[in-house]
A and B are shown apart, each in its own frame.
Chain A
Amino acid sequence: MKRMLKTAAVAAVAAIALAGCGSSPSSSPTNVSPTGQIVPRQISWLLSRPADGSVITIMKKLADDYAKDHPGFSLNLITTPDRPSYIQKYETLAAADKLPELFDTDATPFAQQLAKQGKMMDAGKLLKDLGLYDSFRPAALDYQRFDDGSLYMVPMQFELEFFWYNKSLFQKAGVSVPASLDDLPAACTALRKAGITPIALDGQDQWPLERYVSYQPFRAAGPDYVTSLKKAQAKFSDAPGQKAVTWLDALGKAKCFSDGFSSQGYSDAQNAFTSGQAAMYNIGTWELSSLATDKLNPSVRNDIDFFTLPTTAGSVTKANEFVSPSGIGMAVNSKTYDPLVADFLKFALPKYAAQYAATGALAPTTNVQTTIPANATPLYKKALDKATDLGTKQIMPWDTQLDPTSNTRLQQELTLLVQGNTSPADFTSTMDSTIAQNAPKFFK
Chain B
Amino acid sequence: MLPTRSRLSVLVFLLPPLVVYGAAVLFPILQSLVLSFFSWNGIGDMEFVGLANYVHMLTHDDVFWRSFLNSLGYLAICLVLQLGGALLVASLLLSLRRGRELVKTLYLLPAVISTVAIAFLFERIYSLDPVGLLNQVLSWLGLGALERPWLSDVNTVLAAVSAPEGWRFTGLYMLIIYAALLAVPRELEEAAILDGASRWQLFTKIRFPYIRPVWITTTIMATTYGLRGFDIPYLMTNGGPGQSSELVTTYMYKTAFTSTDYGYASTISVFIVAECLIAVGLIVMLLRRKGEA
Contact = CB atoms under 8 A, between A and B. Distances in A.
Interface in A132-165: none
A406 to B, nearest CB: 9
Interface string B70-82: 0000000000000
Contacts of B45: 20
B129 A91 contact: no
B50 interface: no
Interface stretch (B84-92, B106-114, B148-156, B275-283): B148-156
A259 interface: yes
B43 A260 contact: no
Interface stretch (A9-17, A66-74, A226-234, A280-288): A9-17
B129 A264 contact: yes
B149 A259 contact: yes
Contacts of B260: 91, 95, 110, 404
22 contacts: A12-B31, A16-B34, A16-B38, A17-B46, A20-B40, A20-B45, A20-B46, A94-B43, A110-B41, A113-B44, A117-B43, A259-B129, A260-B128, A260-B148, A261-B152, A262-B152, A404-B260, A409-B63, A412-B240, A419-B241, A421-B242, A441-B261
Contacts of B152: 203, 259-263, 419
Residue among B30, B42, B239 facing the most chain A CB atoms (10 A cut-off): B42
Most buried by A among B236, B242, B257: B242
Given A92-B257, A405-B261, A415-B240, A16 B151 contact: no
B165 to A, nearest CB: 17
Interface residues of B, number: 46
A410 B126 CA distance: 25
Interface string A400-435: 000111001100110110010110000000000000
Contact of B258 (A87, A203, A416, A422): A87
Nearest to B34: A12
A222 B238 CA distance: 32
B204 interface: no
Interface string B237-249: 1111111000000
A292 B236 CA distance: 32
Contacts of B236: 263
A403 B41 CA distance: 12
B83 interface: no
B47 to A, nearest CB: 10
Contacts of B129: 197, 258-260, 264, 268, 272
Contact of B126 (A16, A117, A263, A413): A263
Interface of A: 8-9, 11-13, 15-17, 20, 22, 84, 87-88, 91-92, 94-95, 110, 113-114, 117, 119, 197, 203-204, 258-264, 268, 272, 403-405, 408-409, 412-413, 415-416, 419, 421-422, 438, 441
B262 interface: yes
A258 B239 CA distance: 20
Q: Is the interface of A mostly helix, strand, loop or mixed?
A: helix
**Nearest 3 CB-CB pairings of A with B:** A260-B149, A95-B42, A263-B151
Interface in B30-59: 30-31, 33-35, 38-46
Most interface-central of A197, A272, A416 (chain B CB within 10 A):
A416
B35 A9 contact: no
Contacts of A412: 239-243
B43 A263 contact: no
Contacts of B255: 405
A88 B30 contact: no
A404 B242 contact: no
Contacts of B240: 262, 412, 415
B254 interface: yes
A310 to B, nearest CB: 26
A264 B131 CA distance: 12
A95 B261 contact: no
Interface in B189-227: none
A118 to B, nearest CB: 12
In the complex, which of the residues B22, B238, B262 has the most CB atoms of chain A within 10 Å of its own CB atom? B238
Nearest to B160: A263
Contacts of A405: 255, 258-259, 261
Given A268-B129, A415-B241, 16 more contacts: A13-B34, A16-B38, A84-B258, A88-B257, A113-B44, A117-B43, A197-B129, A259-B149, A260-B127, A260-B128, A260-B152, A404-B258, A405-B258, A409-B63, A415-B240, A419-B241
A227 B261 CA distance: 22
A8 B27 contact: yes
A263 B259 CA distance: 23
Contacts of B22: 8
Contacts of B286: none
Contacts of A259: 128-129, 149, 152
A263 B31 contact: no
A416 to B, nearest CB: 4
B30 A262 contact: no
Nearest to A114: B43
B41 A441 contact: yes
A9 B34 CA distance: 8
Given A15-B31, A419-B241, A408 B259 contact: yes
B42 A422 contact: no
A111 to B, nearest CB: 10
Contacts of B237: 262-263
B41 A408 contact: no
Contacts of B31: 12, 15-16
Given A94-B43, A419-B154, A262 B241 contact: yes
Interface in B134-192: 148-149, 151-154
